[in-house]
């Protein structure tokens, strides 16, 4: 059985919440619960991505400081 995804239009407050999350702006409590779900989802993914990038950057810095360890 194949499932079908149906795209639906975002409401105005959902669009505003998404944009706010991407800009790392605060959530407006006047927006809907659906907007909060979108905001939290985007914010969570961005935070995870930032943590992964920071970890990768730290690893690169450590390898630059001790290049002989990388050769072992």
- Tokens standing for residue 43: 């914010």
Residue 63 in this model has a pLDDT that exceeds 90: no
pLDDT for 6: 81
Question: pLDDT tens-digit profile of 15-57?
Answer: 999 999 999 999 999 999 999 999 999 999 999 999 888 887 7
Give CA–CA dist 31/57, Å, rounded: 36
Give CA–CA dist 32/34, Å, rounded: 5
Report whether 36 contacts 57 (CB < 8 A): no
From residue 58, alpha-carbon distances to 9, 33, 53 in Å are 40, 37, 9
Domain ranges of the chain: 12-18+32-71
pLDDT for 2: 67
Give CA–CA dist 67/34, Å, rounded: 49
């Amino acid at each position: 059985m194949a499932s079908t995804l149906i795209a639906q239009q975002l409401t105005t407050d959902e669009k505003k919440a998404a944009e706010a999350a991407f800009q790392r702006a605060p959530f407006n409590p006047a927006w809907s619960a659906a907007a909060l779900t979108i905001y939290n989802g985007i914010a969570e993914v961005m935070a995870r991505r930032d943590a992964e990038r920071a970890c990768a950057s730290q690893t690169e810095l450590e390898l630059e400081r001790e290049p002989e360890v990388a050769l072992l």
